[in-house]
Structure 1
């Protein structure tokens, strides 16, 4: 039993003695979520490996309240189960990105994992420690774009002691991927050695009701250091009109062993001034005009010439047999984190736009549709050329039943088309059909 598991077990034992305390049970919540997903990844290039699979996922969440006293204690638990319904022979690439693979490269029939967090609350400060953390911050966004969510192990503290300011600090040590039953250490794309120290600290300051400023610092030991600055401002024009400005800036640099064998960053398949090392500055700005049910979005992003944008990605971490651990796939806090591609290679200038309509304005609540287009140019290749380009078009329709027996049942259809002449990613047509339902126990 490792130290973190032992500490969690001891903490749960202590909490069990206080389970009858007012608040711990009364304020608890439990729910079970179901997600059915059809995933079709059609590689258009000759020789590409297509993927067509259907799977069913279940997620059980239990969130306790806090015991009474100056310091309140609680416990959260999570159980995940994935069941493979159909894949078709030859349509499950052995990459563990959607569903885990068996030893012969085919999809396993099912997989599962269980996690939990102990928590404490003092005044307006909460601390969480465990293996079911799902952070959502500028320097780390847990991925939930496939069947089951990515989770992290470590400790976090969130404090709101100062009015209008939220402080976040923590250290994460492991993650469990969206297609894995076990966890690994942390890394970046191309890195095969695991780091067990991702430290971060930052704050969100609500300057006024319409303006928020952000600063975060993160360090993945032996891989990279990263500073983030953000600004979000909403200008209310009228009761049903607004103009939103969202600006984000990242400055990332090498740390420790980064660049050595096993700790190399692949710079997303593009150019690097110092191959294998992190050296990047990226800014992104988005402007959204909302009028009734209409939302018009336009933005631009610039990745500097020295290297690609970096973020946590354990896709190159393998097991003792050299097979992927299933911990690949990740999200990052840029507007270009699209359905298929990320648009984050050195030198890349990306202009993007999106139109969204909420049909509630037309008397059909629960129905939304959007179409987005991104065009990236001036991509620097690994050899230094800068004439490559790529584009992506994404369409999405969401509908959630608003009343009746099936209230809360949601359906999503997403379709993306990617084309590009930069090395690394083949041309793709991708379709996802998703059904979601969550039942909250009362």
Structure 2
């Protein structure tokens, strides 16, 4: 499949764009260039249980993710370019089974045979400060590009990250377009939060500024301000502390708080989101307990499309972020390397939430149980090949209606392998 015209075209265009700067072709620019092709095979099955419409979504596809990151030219200001080539090829789908976001296509529609996109970003570096403009994968507590399907989501815009001061990371950006994880074109940004009335769900831009500071060796604090134009403003705080308890033991505390309000008269956003996760680790075992509480007139505010909200109880299917919802999480992880099986990992968690309203249901409840099993081959011909199975069960005490995610059984099987090219 690597020899298909689409795959070959994306690869050649991406590599060509990266090297098409003859005046900059200095030693560091070429020598520091990194390139890799990730092959990602993704099977997705979601059974909607009692949903009166489509009974399930099931698709299988092969993805090709070509990442090229150049070095920088010499001088006080170094210049470079990054490229991202994406190709998804349908292996199995059908009308009545689409809607997994593995492939393009809404519920009830068929998926195309393939889809692809090419993104470029120019970059400049001064000391430890880097400015990028173009196609971006952003990941911070204000906004995070999702990479939980066949291909990653991207944004168009600019971002500057500075690490010139030891222990301090400053981060600011402006985004104006969004390419969903199952799309080929950049679209307007839109509202994706819970419970608010938004007159116009599309926004011209999303801006953010903030950073993280390592207060001590074990304590890191973070703060971000963000604004989805004419829809919401948000202040987000994060505090992470890791307490060593002895040989191969630690206690990690992750505290999160966000205050979201409306921006202008286009919406009525009003939310306070509190989250806490405490994790005790010993040898290869980790035991976690989490709590999340929404208060205010609406649920959590975040950008729609393919983004991951910064919430402790944002899990495989649900985010437990409805207005006034309270939720608890119990989680267990085990790394089999501790007993001599490196590369094998296991995770399971249970989240339950209640105390919120859905339509006429004034005491809505829901729960979700997740399980992940992953293995990365350590040697031989399959070295670095990764296999992961993700299973989830979600239930609620109210009719699903248009929200087909509240009661579902889900399985995902992902096989991935990255080929170094440079």
TM-score by length of 1: 0.86
- Please name the residue that 2:223 is paired with: 215
Kindly indicate whether the alpha-carbon contact (under 8 Å) linking 1:394 and 1:414 is maintained by their aligned counterparts in 2.
yes
Distance in 2 between residues matched to 1:14 and 1:206, nearest whole Å:
37
Among 364, 388, 401, the alignment partner of 1:388 is: 364
Structure 1 pair 134/13, CA: closer, same or farther in 2 (3 Å)? closer
How far apart are residue 305 of structure 1 and its match? 3.9
Kindly indicate whether the alpha-carbon contact (under 8 Å) linking 1:134 and 1:142 is maintained by their aligned counterparts in 2.
yes
- Please name the residue that 2:381 is paired with: 405
- Please name the residue that 1:158 is paired with: 161
Deviations 1:318-370 (A, max 9, x none): xxxxxxxxxx3431111111111110001111010100100000100000011
Structural RMSD (CA): 1.9
Aligned length: 396
Among 86, 96, 116, the alignment partner of 1:90 is: 96
- Please name the residue that 1:177 is paired with: 180
Kindly indicate whether the alpha-carbon contact (under 8 Å) linking 1:51 and 1:92 is maintained by their aligned counterparts in 2.
yes
SS at match of 1:18: helix
Distance in 2 between residues matched to 1:199 and 1:91, nearest whole Å:
37
SS at match of 2:183: coil
Structure 1 pair 413/13, CA: closer, same or farther in 2 (3 Å)? closer
- Residues 49-198 of structure 1 aligned to structure 2 (within 5 Å): 49=54, 50-93=56-99, 97-101=101-105, 105-131=109-135, 133-189=136-192, 193-198=201-206
Distance in 2 between residues matched to 1:17 and 1:387, nearest whole Å:
65
Kindly indicate whether the alpha-carbon contact (under 8 Å) linking 1:102 and 1:108 is maintained by their aligned counterparts in 2.
no
Distance in 2 between residues matched to 1:281 and 1:342, nearest whole Å:
15
How far apart are residue 52 of structure 1 and its match? 1.1
How far apart are residue 21 of structure 1 and its match? 1.0
Structure 1 pair 235/45, CA: closer, same or farther in 2 (3 Å)? same
- Please name the residue that 1:30 is paired with: 35
Distance in 1 between residues matched to 2:246 and 2:294, nearest whole Å:
35
Moved more, 149-158 or 401-410: 401-410
Distance in 2 between residues matched to 1:203 and 1:103, nearest whole Å:
39
- Please name the residue that 1:368 is paired with: 345
Deviations 1:268-318 (A, max 9, x none): xxxxxxxxx2110000000000000000000101000411001110xxxxx
Structure 1 pair 334/46, CA: closer, same or farther in 2 (3 Å)? closer
Kindly indicate whether the alpha-carbon contact (under 8 Å) linking 1:140 and 1:312 is maintained by their aligned counterparts in 2.
yes
Among 396, 414, 417, the alignment partner of 1:434 is: 414
Distance in 1 between residues matched to 2:107 and 2:234, nearest whole Å:
38
Gaps of 5+ in 2: 1-16
Does residue 297 (structure 1) correspond to residue 288 (structure 2)? The answer is: yes
How far apart are residue 382 of structure 1 and its match? 4.5
Kindly indicate whether the alpha-carbon contact (under 8 Å) linking 2:98 and 2:106 is maintained by their aligned counterparts in 1.
no
How far apart are residue 106 of structure 1 and its match? 0.8
- Please name the residue that 2:271 is paired with: 280
Does residue 339 (structure 1) correspond to residue 316 (structure 2)? The answer is: yes
Gaps of 5+ in 1: 1-11, 260-276, 314-327
How far apart are residue 440 of structure 1 and its match? 1.1
How far apart are residue 18 of structure 1 and its match? 2.7
